Amino acid sequence: MRFIDILRDHLDEFNERYQGRITTTMRQAIHAMLSCRSNSQSTSHWACQGCTHSADFPLSCGHRSCPQCQHHTTQDWLAKQQAKLLPVDYFMVTFTLPFEVRVVAKYQPERLYQAMFTVTASVLKDFAKNSKKLAGDIGFTGVLHTHSRRRDLHPHIHFILPAGSFNKHKKHWQKNKGKYLFNAFNLAKVWRARLLENLAQHPAIILPASLPKKWVVDCRHVGKGLPALQYLSRYLYRGVLPDENIVSDIDGQVCFEYEDSQTQSTEVRTLPTVQFLWLVLQHVLPKGLRRVRDYGLLRGNAKKLRLQIQLMLAVAGAQFQVTESPIIAEVKRRLATRRCPCCQQPMRFMGVVKRTTNFMPLT
Identity of the amino acid at 271: L
Tell whether 42 and 103 lie within a shared domain. Answer: no
In a domain, 250, yes or no: no
Q: What is the pLDDT along the chain (363 residues), one digit of tens a residue?
A: 689 999 999 999 999 999 989 999 999 999 988 888 776 567 878 899 889 898 888 777 778 888 777 666 777 888 888 888 888 889 999 999 999 999 999 989 999 999 999 999 999 999 998 888 887 889 999 999 999 999 999 999 999 999 999 888 888 888 888 889 999 999 999 999 999 999 999 988 989 888 999 999 999 999 888 888 887 877 676 678 888 999 999 999 999 999 988 888 999 999 999 999 999 999 999 988 999 999 999 998 888 998 888 888 887 766 665 544 443 344 344 444 688 889 888 888 888 777 654 544 544
Give the separation between CA 296 and CA 128, rounded to whole angstroms: 11
**3, 66, 67, 81, 362 from 71: Cα distances, Å:** 16, 10, 9, 16, 22
Residues 6+ apart with CB under 8 A from 212: 98, 100
In a domain, 263, yes or no: no
Give the separation between CA 29 and CA 46, rounded to whole angstroms: 28
Tell whether 232 and 312 lie within a shared domain. Answer: yes
Q: What is the pLDDT of residue 359?
A: 47
Q: What is the pLDDT of residue 336?
A: 45
Q: What is the pLDDT of residue 261?
A: 82
In a domain, 245, yes or no: no
Tell whether 82 and 230 lie within a shared domain. Answer: yes
Give the separation between CA 324 and CA 32, rounded to whole angstroms: 32
Tell whether 121 and 218 lie within a shared domain. Answer: yes
Domain holding 354, by residue range, is 3-64+331-361
Q: Is the dihedral of CA 49, 50, 53, 57 positive or negative?
A: negative
In a domain, 277, yes or no: no
Residues 6+ apart with CB under 8 A from 343: 48, 50, 51, 53
Give the separation between CA 250 and CA 146, rounded to whole angstroms: 28
Identity of the amino acid at 115: A
Tell whether 142 and 76 lie within a shared domain. Answer: yes
Q: What is the pLDDT of residue 320?
A: 60
Q: What is the pLDDT of residue 274?
A: 97
Q: What is the pLDDT of residue 331?
A: 39
Tell whether 303 and 233 lie within a shared domain. Answer: yes
In a domain, 280, yes or no: no
Helices 326-334 and 71-83: crossing angle in degrees, nearest 10, is: 160
Q: What is the pLDDT of residue 1?
A: 63
Q: What is the pLDDT of residue 319?
A: 60
Q: What is the pLDDT of residue 318?
A: 67
In a domain, 270, yes or no: no
Tell whether 213 and 89 lie within a shared domain. Answer: yes
Three-class SS of residue 287? coil
In a domain, 24, yes or no: yes
In a domain, 262, yes or no: no
Tell whether 111 and 201 lie within a shared domain. Answer: yes
Tell whether 317 and 345 lie within a shared domain. Answer: no
Q: What is the pLDDT of residue 273?
A: 96
Q: What is the pLDDT of residue 275?
A: 97
- Overall number of domains in the chain: 2
Tell whether 27 and 152 lie within a shared domain. Answer: no
Tell whether 76 and 60 lie within a shared domain. Answer: no
Tell whether 98 and 168 lie within a shared domain. Answer: yes
Q: What is the pLDDT of residue 333?
A: 47
